[in-house]
Amino acid sequence: MDAPESPQIYLITPPSLDLDVFPDLLASVLDSVEIACIRLDLVSHEEDDLARAADTLRTVAHARDVALVISDHVLLAQRLGLDGVHLSDAAKSVRDTRKTLGPDAIVGCFCAATRHDGISAAEAGADYVSFGPIGTTSLGVGEQASSDLFQWWSDMIEVPVVAEGALDPGLIARFAPFTDFFGIGNEIWDADNPGQALKGLIKAL
């Protein structure tokens, strides 16, 4: 993904989906707010579940010229014709994934709050690096990615950066000068109208 002139939205799916309901919900969000990319990020490791979800969401996304990547499942991304993969193991598998998927696929990775992992991922050929959480959460080890990290990255590194994790309007306003994409998912999916929730979240942009 190329770095945009102003921050864009990188949409993250809920960890579980009702495929009778979610595709229409996703379509309504895509039709109400400009989205740069969608990450299919399910907790299930059942290949059939992942394949059904990926096939369904790919149709919705590609009808609107929005890229769809999947978390970690490199061979599934290749087999299903997805746009790429999001790796959750920092820089460990970026180089091998790039070899497998080729130069045109999107290969990104999550590097928590670690500058070294981000640099390693960029050097290994990642199209983007994701840092987070930038908000307060008890998930994971709880270490937050600071605005200083994003400011340094934007000054020194050309590879686009994603800010994600426990976002709110104040954090989006604060991090907007230093990030290329905001990874937004759980912040909106529990709302009655996720599209309106997303508009409220990003109004600072």
Q: Collapse the DSSP code of 147 into the 3-class scheme (helix H, G, I; strand E, B; otherwise coil) and give the result.
A: helix
Largest CA distance in the chain: 45
* 15 assigned to some structural domain: yes
- Examine residue 65 and state whether it is found in any structural domain, yes or no: yes
Quick one: average pLDDT of 8-29? 97
The DSSP line for 79-121 is: HHT-SEEEESSTTTTHHHHHHHH-TTSEEEEE-TT-HHHHHHH
Grouping H, G, I as helix, E, B as strand and the rest as coil, residue 134 is: coil
Cα 109 from Cα 149, distance rounded (Å): 16
Residue 3 lies in a domain: no
- The backbone torsions φ and ψ at residue 166, rounded to the nearest 5 degrees and listed phi first, read 60, 50
Say which CATH number the domain at 125 has: 3.20.20.70
pLDDT value of residue 61: 98
> What 3-state class would DSSP assign to 179?
coil
Instruction: Give the pLDDT score at 46.
Output: 95
Mean pLDDT of 183-202: 96
- Report the pLDDT value the prediction gives residue 143, as an integer from 0 to 100: 86
| Alpha-carbon 156 to chain mean position | 22
| Residue in this structure with the two tokens 């394949």, named with its chain if needed | 51
User: Using alpha carbons only, what angle is made at residue 61 by residues 57 and 65, rounded to the nearest 5 degrees?
Assistant: 160
Interval 102-152: pLDDT, tens: 999 999 999 999 999 999 999 999 999 999 999 998 766 668 999 999 999
117 in a domain, yes or no?
yes
Question: Is residue 2, in this structure, part of any structural domain at all?
Answer: no
Structure tokens at 168: 């709110």
Note whether residue 1 is domain-resident. Answer: no
**In which domain, by residue range, is 99 found?**
8-201
Whole-number average pLDDT of the chain: 95
Confidence of residue 80 (pLDDT cuts 50, 70, 90): very high
Share of the chain above pLDDT 70, in %: 98
User: Does 147 map to a domain?
Assistant: yes
Tokens of 25: 């919900």
User: What pLDDT, in 10s, does the model give residues 58-77?
Assistant: 999 999 999 999 999 999 99
Q: Are 85 and 73 in contact, with CB atoms under 8 Å apart? A: yes
Domain count, the chain: 1
| Other beta carbons less than 10 A from residue 165's beta carbon | 27
Nearest CA-CA partner of 184 in 25, 62, 5, 35: 35
The DSSP call for residue 184 is: E
Contact between 111 and 118 (Cβ < 8 Å) = yes
Residue 86's nearest CA partner among 40, 124, 52 is 40
Residue 99 covered by a domain = yes
